[in-house]
Structure 1
Amino acid sequence: MNADSQSSVPALDRVNQWVRTSTMLKIIVVGILVLVLLVPTSMVQSLITEREQTRTDAVKEVSDKWGNAQIIAGPVLSVPFTVIEKDEKGRTTTRTDYAHALPDDLQITGSIQPEQRNRGIYSVMLYNTRLTVRATLKRPLAERLGIDERALQWDKAIISLGVTDMKGIKDTIRMQVNGKSLVVEPGIPTNDVLRSGVSALLPADATDIRFTCDLNLNGSTELSFQPFGKQTTVALTSPWATPSFSGAYLPDERDVKADGFRASWKVLQYNRNFAQQGVGPFMDAVTANGQPQLATDNTAFGVKLLLPVDEYQKTTRSAKYAIMFILITFSAFFFVEILNRQRIHPIQYLLVGFAICLFYVLLLAISEHLTFNLAYLICSVVVLALISFYVRYVFQNARLTGLFTAVLALLYGFFYSLLQLEDYSLLLGSVGLLLILGTIMYLTRNVNWYKAYEG
């Protein structure tokens, strides 16, 4: 062997020795492995989103056939009148507009009977509601609206009630005005105020109108109401124990118990931004992009019938902590190397990282069939057993294996606590990370990082 070859061997040995013992290089490698594991963690989150969308599609399929979320609006008194206009050339054109009046007093009472159905493995929250609508209305004042009284066609006046999804109507809708039954027809001749619903011709001699209507209606997830009265009161009861009161107004009184809930609302005309009477689409409000929308679009209020547990929401929140879990686990591996003078190969880091990612896939799959809490417990035990079995052969030390398993168990418990304590998750997470950092700093306070791998 020549002199150049002999001199290159020690140099190569020194490079190999540096690679094996360089603390900075190992930190870089561990950092790269964490970045590599971002790929499977993002794939897990995409899988959760995909399964949630599948659930949403299943719910929509059932709801479309039963009845979607319902919004009840009205009643509205609408009177047609003729408008005669002349153009610049003196040609006369006529069109029909409507004058509208909303109720003075609107009272809605009823009950909601929930019905939970399944589409495959997915639960769909449906309901049937029986409502009684009572209202008092007065004829629109032609003078106030700038209309010639003689132009109003009282023989064609209609009274209408808004129902967003007509598929949900179960029985014949019965309307009465001043004790007289009306012939109710589907659809509304004008969409100035209501987009869909039912209507009936009003008796021509009706002045002060006392309106009553009974509704038997199917819907899903949510039931809402529009505050069309000068004073709108709504009172609901249901045996469902997990309601969420939604929309623009919270109930004035509510009583939620294990056997159901009672809730009542009172909304005044001063609480919303549209008048009691008007001409044409008088509730239109122009949005920023110039597109008109009804001013009532943001005033509905009511109740949602929530399922007790949304496993996808909790699994999504759990998966957001995956990269932090991997980082803490890899840090524990790294400090075992430093403190125990034992080298762990990057492939062994990677296999443990994949096991952690598999936890979230198992959690998603099992929580679709069991409760989230039970699924979390099962997955934690399974993945802990898998990792503990593996690191027993990596560490070749029963005490270190037990300590490492205890650390992982504490981590799973810690992140489970973060999921349960939504309001205090930031505080608990910050304190937990501070304790972890303090522990690491204490355990490594005497480590010479320049000679960490040297005996």
Structure 2
Amino acid sequence: MENQEFQEQQNNEEKTFFQSTTAKMIMVGLLTFVLLIPLLFVQNLIAERAQRKSEVVNEISNLWGSDVAFYGPILRIPYNTYENINVTDQKTGATTLQRRATTNYAYFFPSELTNTSKVKKNESLKRSIFNPVVFTADMNFKGNFTAPNFTKLNIPEESIQWDKAAIIVKTTNLKSIKSELKIQLNNEKLTFEPQPDDKSNYSVLATNLFDYKTLATNSLINFNFGITYNGSNSINFIPIGKVTAVGIDSDWESPSFEGSFAANDTTKVVNKDGFHVDWKILDINRTFSQQYANVLPNLEDYRFGVKLIDTVDEYQQNERVSKYGFLVIGLTFLIFFLIQSISKINIHIFQYSMIGIALIMFYTLLISITEHSSFSLAYAISGIAVVVMITLYSISILKNRKFPLFIATSLSVLYTFIYVIIQMEDYALLVGSIGLFFILGAVMYFSRKIDWGK
């Protein structure tokens, strides 16, 4: 009789241990960490789809036109340099001194350079579910060259070949120019032609040769020309004018003004219909000269312009949402665990697993629906679907409607809270910290009467 009572007592102790609150807490905690594995797979899926988008966008941009950068126009005038060399006659062995001429080039930047550009976005190149940032830019340049100062370059007058002058421009997007390239120089119109690559990121266009002294009026050459580009992502200029003025109008609603020079805040306008921006840069604002001999300088550090931003990057938003996956799973399990502890309703670890998998499915639904609609709509559909599924499942588990209604409300608030956070930039950390503080307070309040010793 005593042995039988001892055995029943031992069985009760073993049953109590495995069904204790501590044991259940450990199992739910382990399950939470196990669910990080499929969550990691979801994050890898998001990264893979983002990489695929990047590849497609780059392919379209390469076909349509890459970033536009403009360096010019520049007045180029050749000049001769001479050197004395010894020449030996192979038959007689006699050595004579001969003078050999070498042609070099002097480059002069304009005194005034004004650009007005109209940039229009193109939405016809959408491929599958991807929509790249591409545009057509109509750019007009005008200004003037004053008399070139060869004295500063230590080049004598008799060495200058005035009749072989040319105007050159350098651009990164030669293949995507869609207009006839002609420049008006005073009363004469010249045509640009491509020149050999100068071993930089720029391609060179040069006019046919002209006589500077014949063309110049009072030692001044006025110029006017236009270029139409197919481009993508950005437009940049180099301020080579003694006074450089640039104005851009566009229907793109999300620009980012970049480079070494700030735009004019008094005339800058950015709204849902597009933007207008102006720059005015003087020669005293940069540290390079207006004339060079032999080689043009690398002025990449002086670039400025505008980058057209795709603010609705669905993959970046999905990635940010997935980073809160551990928080969503942990808080959802915590809600069920508190309900189980308060109501004494037993929830099997398998049922926790089903709830966890449903939470993971939210992210796969979100990324797949986002690719075919807006992120906000996809978030709403995915969130409602998961909340409804877990709520209906909770009714069958908890055998009443009070607790499932609380779960549905809690999950709705949690998903809404995360959506608000990811839409913010400057205040995301502040709002997130305050929200987590209140969540901690709620957990402390509802768990205050639980007997953790059982």
TM-score, normalised relative to structure 1: 0.86
Residue in 2 that maps onto 1:122: 130
Select the residue among 41, 44, 60 that pairs with 1:46: 44
From the superposition, tell whether residues 98 and 357 of structure 1 become closer, same or farther in structure 2 (CA, over 3 Å). Answer: farther
Contact 1:235 1:265 (8 Å CA) reproduced: yes
Following superposition of structure 1 onto structure 2, how do residues 231-310 of structure 1 map, counting pairs within 5 Å? 231-252=243-264, 253-281=267-295, 283=297, 294=298, 296-307=299-310, 309-310=312-313
Residue 339 of structure 1 pairs with residue 345 of structure 2: no
Q: In the comparison of the two structures, how many residue pairs are matched?
A: 435
Following superposition of structure 1 onto structure 2, how do residues 307-386 of structure 1 map, counting pairs within 5 Å? 307=310, 309-386=312-389
Select the residue among 147, 159, 166 that pairs with 1:158: 166
- 1:379, 1:93 → 2: CA distance? 79
- 1:134, 1:425 → 2: CA distance? 46
From the superposition, tell whether residues 13 and 239 of structure 1 become closer, same or farther in structure 2 (CA, over 3 Å). Answer: same
- How far off is 1:21 after superposition? 0.7
- How far off is 1:429 after superposition? 0.6
Unaligned runs of 5+ in 2: 86-96
Deviation string 1:378-430 (CA, Å, 9 cap, x unpaired) is 11111111111112222223111111111001101111111222221111111
Contact 2:198 2:204 (8 Å CA) reproduced: no
Following superposition of structure 1 onto structure 2, how do residues 167-186 of structure 1 map, counting pairs within 5 Å? 167-186=175-194
Residue in 2 that maps onto 1:133: 141
Following superposition of structure 1 onto structure 2, how do residues 186-201 of structure 1 map, counting pairs within 5 Å? 186-187=194-195, 190=198, 195-200=202-207, 201=209
325-334 vs 31-40, which deviates more?
A: 31-40
- How far off is 1:376 after superposition? 1.0
- How far off is 1:280 after superposition? 4.0
- 1:7, 1:141 → 2: CA distance? 112
- How far off is 1:255 after superposition? 2.2
Select the residue among 404, 412, 430 that pairs with 2:407: 404
Contact 2:197 2:203 (8 Å CA) reproduced: no
314-323 vs 239-248, which deviates more?
A: 239-248
TM-score, normalised relative to structure 2: 0.86
Which residue identity does 1:328 align to in structure 2?
L
Residue 212 of structure 1 pairs with residue 224 of structure 2: yes
Which residue identity does 2:383 align to in structure 1?
S
Contact 2:136 2:230 (8 Å CA) reproduced: yes
Contact 1:66 1:218 (8 Å CA) reproduced: yes
- 2:157, 2:252 → 1: CA distance? 50
Rg bigger for which structure? 2
Contact 1:66 1:167 (8 Å CA) reproduced: no
From the superposition, tell whether residues 335 and 152 of structure 1 become closer, same or farther in structure 2 (CA, over 3 Å). Answer: farther
Indicate the SS of the match to 2:268.
strand
Residue in 2 that maps onto 1:290: none
- 2:282, 2:65 → 1: CA distance? 29
- How far off is 1:125 after superposition? 3.1
- How far off is 1:358 after superposition? 1.2
**What do you get for the CA RMSD once the two structures are aligned?**
3.0
Residue in 1 that maps onto 2:447: 444
Unaligned runs of 5+ in 1: 284-293
From the superposition, tell whether residues 346 and 149 of structure 1 become closer, same or farther in structure 2 (CA, over 3 Å). Answer: farther
Contact 2:21 2:341 (8 Å CA) reproduced: no
Contact 1:75 1:135 (8 Å CA) reproduced: no
